[in-house]
Structure 1
Amino acid sequence: MRVLLLVLGLLLATAAPAHAHAGGLTPQDHLSRVTGIEPPLPGVAARMVNHGTQLEIRNDGPEPVAVAGHVVAPGEVWRFRDERTTAPTWEVPLGTAVVRGRVDATPGPNPLWWLLVTLALAAGGRFLGRSKALLAGGVVVVTVAHILHAVGSTLAVTGGSFVPLMVGAGGVGLVCWPLAGVAVGAAVRRKPAAAFIAAVVGAMLVVAGIPDFDSFRFSHLPFAGPADVDRLLVALTLGGGLGLAAGGFAFMRKEMDR
């Protein structure tokens, strides 16, 4: 037990959490979007990408177009940041036309409800300590939730390489993915280490999920899917991770008392 406490303490004290979402994108209540190009340019399209942080110009027309000091050639896609796109209503010159857009504000949800869901999952997780099979099942569910969150965050990024973005989104939680298989294997073989691994995985996933607390209070999340799905995945990672740690401790304590 002392060894486990030391390991968990070191993980919580020294692990470097990942960004809340891939590419360093963050939840927010304001989102910039393009409303149109005036007058329209044949074959030229514009949109905001990467959670409203970059303006993308796609030139499928016959002529090059100039924007923000760059000439976008036919067949080229160019993405860039422009402070003008942060104004309530904005415009960016594009060749002989103008890209127009606006920033929409949407109030975020009440974070209390999601915190309650997280705490309920953490409290319920103590029952996982009744058996190695329950601990193994919990490890799988919580780890899959973290993987889905990382994948959804990665798919929300435009113009980046998938693997590096996925690694950044997973952070310290990446170590838990293979450990989940180890935990299941140990539980199937009825090894004493199953509870230890479950507790370690739970603590590491809590560390990995800490930056995601902002998902509970902002309306727009950089996630390739409904925002509430991402919030549920975050709640499962945090609450389930706490529950696994508690359940692992409870199981080991029960074994030591026999």
Structure 2
Amino acid sequence: MTVVRRSALLLVLAGIVVAGWVSPALAHAGGLVATDARSRVVSVSPPVPGLSVAAIEEGAKLRLVNSTSSPVTVPPGGGPAVPAVIPPGHTATWPDTRTSPVGKKVAAGDSRPWSLTLGVAGSPVTVTGLLEGHPSPPAALWWAAAVALAAAVPILCRRSGRPDLLLAATALTAMAASVAHVLGSTMEVVSAPVLGTFLNAAGINLLAWPLILGGAVAALRGRPAGLLAVCAGAALTAVFVLPDVTSFHRAVLPFAGPDLLERLLVLLALSGGAGAAVAGASVLRTLAAAQAATRPAATGDPA
């Protein structure tokens, strides 16, 4: 089997693995998704000493701290994760469909009120809040940049004197963007352990990152086989970040940092990974041809 066929087979297998791995629920740390609005708590009335309610993770969840001497009752109707009773001295965190911006369309600049009536020591306590809409990014421009960057990689590789180094550098850039994207997504989650959240958010990247890094080192040492690993890792990186392209369309992103930075990271991981994977076959073919040309020709005496 030729080097080109091996690389193509490896990339296909990588795509099949990711296709079976990725789901929208696993694509984001802690199950958070991009939305069009943020949710926040405005007031707790009447105020109860020791009782606090806050919207966390861009409003995707509510956190209730019960430092009172009485249990707090939460009314049903906000989904199966809503706790019925929170005992004294306990804290509860849960996603609530009545207060979360997930699945709700709120126009930029508009706001939508929400409220919950808790039971504290037999008395009603009303928690009020707002869903606040934010402007969406220019999705067409982000997609145009993504396509242009992905297409530029194979073109530049064909014109480069060292396409193997350019390919490795592109894949390493995609890897770095992917790592930063996963870290930022992990840091946004405050309702789950950091390590478990990071591992879930990284997913198949735990295989892709070592492939790219090890393959790049091998390629820098002049081993064309290292580019196979680089291309496979780049393909995995691009496919796994696909669910996060919602960042090109949504206003509020599950990322602990500027939304612009998150979109740039997704752009680099997607386009750099895809561009490196597509350019890989051509680069490997060029290297194979160059190696064949440098081999001494076979000679033999005529019969």
What's the counterpart of residue 10 of structure 1? 13
RMSD value, Cα:
2.1
Percent identical = 31
What's the counterpart of residue 66 of structure 1? 72
TM-score by length of 1: 0.90
Q: Which of 72, 79, 93 is the equivalent residue of 2:93?
A: 79
1:91 and 2:115 aligned: yes
> CA deviation digits over 1:145-181, x for unaligned, max 9?
1011111111111221222222221222221111222
Query: Aligned pairs, how many?
Result: 256
Offset of 1:3 from its aligned partner? 1.5
Q: Which of 30, 36, 40 is the equivalent residue of 2:43?
A: 36
| 1:186-201 → structure 2 map (5 Å cutoff) | 186-201=218-233
1:174 and 2:198 aligned: no
| 1:6-155 → structure 2 map (5 Å cutoff) | 6-15=9-18, 16-17=21-22, 19-59=26-66, 61-68=67-74, 69-74=84-89, 76-86=90-100, 88-94=112-118, 95=120, 96=123, 97-126=125-154, 127-128=156-157, 130=160, 131=162, 132-155=164-187
> CA deviation digits over 1:120-143, x for unaligned, max 9?
221222224632332222222110
Q: Which amino acid aligns with 1:41?
A: V
Equivalent-residue separation in structure 1 for 2:70 and 2:216 (angstroms): 57
TM-score by length of 2: 0.77
| Higher Cα Rg, which structure | 2
Would the alpha carbon gap of residues 199 and 65 (structure 1) be closer, same or farther in structure 2, given more than 3 Å must change? Answer: same
> CA deviation digits over 1:102-127, x for unaligned, max 9?
21122311211111221122122222
- Unpaired stretches in structure 1, ≥5 consecutive residues: none
| 1:155-170 → structure 2 map (5 Å cutoff) | 155-170=187-202
Larger RCO: 1 or 2 (CA < 8 Å, sep 6+): 1
> CA deviation digits over 1:199-233, x for unaligned, max 9?
11111111111111211100011111111111111
Q: Which amino acid aligns with 2:44?
A: I
Offset of 1:42 from its aligned partner? 2.4
Structure with the larger helix share: 1
What's the counterpart of residue 270 of structure 2? 238
Would the alpha carbon gap of residues 121 and 44 (structure 1) be closer, same or farther in structure 2, given more than 3 Å must change? Answer: same
Offset of 1:238 from its aligned partner? 0.6
Check whether the contact 2:216–2:230 (CA below 8 A) recurs between aligned residues. no
